[in-house]
Chain A
Amino acid sequence: MTVFLSILGVVALIAILIYNSLIGKKNQVDNIFAGVDTVLKKRYDLIPNLVASVERYMEHEKSTLEKVTEYRAQAMKPGISDDQKIALDAKLTSALGAINIAMEAYPDLKANENVMHLMRTLNEIEEQISAARRAYNQSVTDLNNAIEMFPTNIVAGWMNLQRRLLFEITTTERQNVNVHDLFNRS
């Protein structure tokens, strides 16, 4: 009887430890996503100003600019899920990247101090977003591993924890950033 109770005690203790570590991992994901949200919001705040400043010059990029505005509007809708935010972030990043590249073809734009200031601000925000995405992906990977690995998967099953989606890290982000594009250097 004593042996049985001891074994039961040890099993209960392990289950409690696993439960607490899963809760910790889940909260870490939510916590970091709040940080991601903060930097994404910085970018949403900048977009209207940026679009208004460049649309007069960028005749051929009208559709891309419209897309950027549309994605921003969708991302700012109340009640949007985290997964939808992640999907919209990828679209927005790629559209803004296209604008950044297209700017090379507009010398007038590059001479405009206001536009350049906005672009540099955007680049700084993009660096922060990139860091936030990497932090989020690491915490999601930790949680997803715990959900799938034995024995934590048993407790995760009882808790009904779901796997989370990762942010896609673009290939340009993986490469070393070209600092001449990012910094105020000629």
Chain B
Amino acid sequence: MKTLSELTDYYYKELYPSIDELEKTRQEIASRLKLYGGMGLALFGLVAIWCTKTFGLLHPMSIAIAIGFIAVGTIIYRSMTQNYAKDFKEKVITPLINAIDSNLLYNPDLMISQTLFERSQLFNHSIDRYRGNDYVKGSIDGVPIEFSDVHAEYQTRDSKGRTQWHTLFRGLFLVAEFNKHFKSRTVLLPDLAEKTFGNLIGGWLQSLNISRDKVIQLDDPEFEKKFVVYGNDPIEARYILSHSMMNRIVEFQKKISYPLFISFVYNHIHVGIGAGKDLFEPAVFTSLLDYKQAMEYINTLRYTIGLVEELKLNEKLWSKE
């Protein structure tokens, strides 16, 4: 697998012709968007003044018109960037993935199945809308792996019967075969309670989570600060989370700035990286040649695919070989 610096060289050297061409398209789109955006805002301002005078600021009609403006704006933005995003995935993301490992298949329109996502048991909530894209499948060092961007949402109704959508998870979701046999269920979630309320109250709050198995306290203070672990077999949870595995997970969490959700069920590891956005969408208002921007694509891909190496999932116990 190529290193980060090799991939950066590849991005700027090998992909330069495609990126240069895409960059010109991006600049055109960005300037057009700014022009339309300015006009739209001016029109919105005038309509807002008229609405306030005619109906009042918080009148349902005023709110409906505002929502209409946002919807039209979103549609215009989408239609203007759609082809550019498609080209970007074809000319940049596809070769980048191939450069990392030629065994990987990439399809920008597919996603990890909802069944697999639910099987992870990371998010105990019914899902009313499940979308995703940028699906990658293959094997790294003999370890079957698949991942994609996922956006899972659920619906609620308020007292007036209005529908509201809430994001359950948005980010990158990965499933890979684990290198040890196990029958139990072990779930690692970001430790928000302990971070917010401290050890004593946070620990007590975690133990109150009735939708989960028992809290499993582990003997690695740094790991315990970052994660709360729920599981139905305290021995097997520690068999999976050996000291070295906990160490690797902590190191991985340090490298990525997003919350990490990990579960071990059905002999597989499921990893959710809660970025809160699509990770492989091209930037519109930042140059594709911008180093930080380029590194975001490269890092995300390298770290995700590198997870097999990072967690040493390729070092299988001989009985699994």
Task: Give the B-binding residues of A (Cβ under 8 A).
Answer: 32, 35-36, 39, 120-121, 124, 127-128, 130-132, 134-135, 137-139, 142, 173-177, 179, 182-185
* B318 contacts A131, C-beta separation under 8 Å: no
Which one, B216, B234, B242, B318, contacts A130 given CB within 8 A?
B242
Task: Please report the C-alpha to C-alpha distance between residue A14 and residue B65 in the assembled complex, in whole angstroms.
Answer: 59
On chain B, which size bracket covers the interface? 20 to 34
* A184 contacts B318, C-beta separation under 8 Å: yes
* A127 contacts B234, C-beta separation under 8 Å: no
Report B-chain residues with C-beta under 8 Å of the C-beta of A128.
235, 239
* B235 contacts A32, C-beta separation under 8 Å: yes
The minimal Cβ–Cβ distance linking A11 to chain B, given in whole angstroms, is: 22
26 contacts between A and B (CB under 8 A): A32-B234, A36-B235, A121-B319, A124-B317, A124-B319, A128-B235, A128-B239, A130-B238, A131-B235, A131-B242, A134-B218, A134-B219, A135-B234, A135-B235, A135-B237, A138-B217, A138-B234, A139-B234, A173-B243, A177-B242, A177-B243, A179-B244, A179-B315, A182-B317, A184-B321, A185-B315
* A177 contacts B244, C-beta separation under 8 Å: yes
Report B-chain residues with C-beta under 8 Å of the C-beta of A124.
317-319
What is the chain A residue whose CB lies nearest that of B245?
A176
Task: Please report the C-alpha to C-alpha distance between residue A138 and residue B224 in the assembled complex, in whole angstroms.
Answer: 13
Report B-chain residues with C-beta under 8 Å of the C-beta of A135.
234-235, 237-238
| A-B contacts besides A132-B235, A135-B234, 7 pairs, CB < 8 Å | A127-B242, A128-B239, A131-B237, A135-B237, A175-B243, A183-B315, A184-B318
Report B-chain residues with C-beta under 8 Å of the C-beta of A39.
235
Task: Please report the C-alpha to C-alpha distance between residue A135 and residue B315 in the assembled complex, in whole angstroms.
Answer: 24
Task: Please report the C-alpha to C-alpha distance between residue A132 and residue B239 in the assembled complex, in whole angstroms.
Answer: 8
Task: Please report the C-alpha to C-alpha distance between residue A87 and residue B230 in the assembled complex, in whole angstroms.
Answer: 31
Task: Please report the C-alpha to C-alpha distance between residue A158 and residue B237 in the assembled complex, in whole angstroms.
Answer: 34
Residues of B47-82 whose CB lies within 8 A of A: none
Task: Give the A-binding residues of B (Cβ under 8 A).
Answer: 216-219, 234-239, 242-244, 247, 312, 315-319, 321
* B243 contacts A183, C-beta separation under 8 Å: no
The minimal Cβ–Cβ distance linking A135 to chain B, given in whole angstroms, is: 4
Report B-chain residues with C-beta under 8 Å of the C-beta of A139.
234
What is the chain A residue whose CB lies nearest that of B219?
A134
Task: Please report the C-alpha to C-alpha distance between residue A3 and residue B208 in the assembled complex, in whole angstroms.
Answer: 31
Report A-chain residues with C-beta under 8 Å of the C-beta of B238.
130-132, 134-135
The minimal Cβ–Cβ distance linking A36 to chain B, given in whole angstroms, is: 8
Report A-chain residues with C-beta under 8 Å of the C-beta of B243.
173-177
Task: Please report the C-alpha to C-alpha distance between residue A176 and residue B248 in the assembled complex, in whole angstroms.
Answer: 10
Report A-chain residues with C-beta under 8 Å of the C-beta of B316.
183
Report A-chain residues with C-beta under 8 Å of the C-beta of B244.
176-177, 179
Which one, B216, B217, B318, contacts A183 given CB within 8 A?
B318
Report B-chain residues with C-beta under 8 Å of the C-beta of A183.
315-318
Which one, A131, A138, A173, A185, contacts B236 given CB within 8 A?
A131
Report A-chain residues with C-beta under 8 Å of the C-beta of B242.
127, 130-131, 177
Most buried by A among B234, B242, B244, B312: B234
Task: Please report the C-alpha to C-alpha distance between residue A79 and residue B315 in the assembled complex, in whole angstroms.
Answer: 40
Report B-chain residues with C-beta under 8 Å of the C-beta of A173.
243
